[in-house]
């Protein structure tokens, strides 16, 4: 009984309310914990891909090489765009926590649009690389570059789909203040994808071969 009462000390004796997820053993809701676990798994996915890229750096037998093909200023701008989307994501969460649904939708849409600009930039980058003679088949650099950055791009795209779904739900009025955690969880994913991009941008673009 002692343990039981101890664990109850902080419980509010009210009917189950929005705060009910604090009743889990960890205090995190199941959904949030699942997202954290899933992101842990994602770390290994990106870790394996980034290691592969590292292993093959400078080992291509023929060109084009990264130095010949990268446009660092261009990619820096698109990276900046993606990182700014983390800011708008935070603003979206703050908005729903305040119950400001109009700003929630504005910031969700802004985040999705910034993400989409990044993807558009990536598509443009890919096509220009292909025009300059670098495809997935060309050399080790081509294979590892396209697979790593493309894999990240797919993650961003799925994030955009999530954001647009949330935006749509908010339009229909079913994304309310007490469910702000949904936005928080989508935000966890979004920030994760952004953080991974910082690593990729550094490893792939900035560190000289």
Return residues touching another protein (CB under 8 A): 1, 3-5, 7-8, 11, 13, 15-18, 20-21, 23-26, 28-31, 33-35, 37-38, 40-42, 44-45, 48-49, 52, 55-56, 59-61, 136-137, 139-140, 142-144, 146-147, 151, 154-155, 158-159, 161-162, 165-166, 169, 174-175, 178-179, 181-182, 185-186, 189
What gap in Å lies between CA 126 and CA 149, rounded to an integer? 10
Q: Minimal distance in Å, beta carbon 180 to another protein?
A: 11
Q: Which is nearer to another protein, 8 or 73 (CB)?
A: 8
Q: Minimal distance in Å, beta carbon 76 to another protein?
A: 27
What gap in Å lies between CA 83 and CA 73, rounded to an integer? 15
Q: Which is nearer to another protein, 82 or 148 (CB)?
A: 148
Cβ contacts of 150-154, under 8 Å, gap ≥ 24: 150/126, 151/45, 151/46, 151/49, 152/46, 152/193, 152/196, 152/197, 152/200, 153/119, 153/122
193 touches 159 (CB < 8 A): yes
Q: Minimal distance in Å, beta carbon 157 to another protein?
A: 9
Q: Which is nearer to another protein, 125 or 184 (CB)?
A: 184
Q: Minimal distance in Å, beta carbon 131 to another protein?
A: 18
What gap in Å lies between CA 21 and CA 42, rounded to an integer? 25
What gap in Å lies between CA 189 and CA 159, rounded to an integer? 7
Q: Minimal distance in Å, beta carbon 121 to another protein?
A: 20
What is the chain's percent helix, strand, coil content, to nearest 5? 80, 0, 20
What gap in Å lies between CA 186 and CA 34, rounded to an integer? 12
Q: Which is nearer to another protein, 33 or 77 (CB)?
A: 33
Q: Which is nearer to another protein, 11 or 71 (CB)?
A: 11
């Amino acid at each position: 009984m002692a343990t039981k009462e101890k664990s109850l000390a902080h419980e509010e004796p009210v009917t189950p309310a929005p705060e009910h997820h604090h009743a889990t053993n960890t205090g995190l809701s199941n959904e949030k914990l699942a997202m954290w676990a899933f992101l842990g798994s994602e770390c290994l996915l990106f870790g394996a891909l980034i290691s592969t890229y590292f292993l093959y750096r400078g080992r291509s037998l023929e060109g084009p090489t990264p130095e010949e093909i990268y446009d660092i200023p261009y990619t820096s701008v698109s990276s900046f765009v993606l990182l700014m989307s983390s800011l708008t994501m935070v603003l979206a969460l703050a908005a729903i926590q305040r119950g400001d649904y109009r700003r929630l939708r504005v910031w969700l849409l802004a985040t999705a649009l910034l993400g989409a600009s990044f993807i558009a930039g990536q598509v443009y980058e890919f096509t220009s690389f292909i025009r300059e003679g670098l495809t997935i088949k060309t050399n080790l650099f081509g294979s590892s570059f396209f697979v790593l950055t493309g894999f990240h791009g797919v993650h961003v795209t799925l994030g955009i789909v999530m954001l647009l779904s949330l935006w749509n739900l908010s339009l229909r009025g079913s994304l309310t203040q007490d469910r702000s955690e949904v936005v928080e969880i989508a935000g966890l994913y979004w920030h994760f994808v952004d953080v991974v991009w910082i690593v990729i941008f550094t490893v792939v673009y900035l560190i000289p071969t």
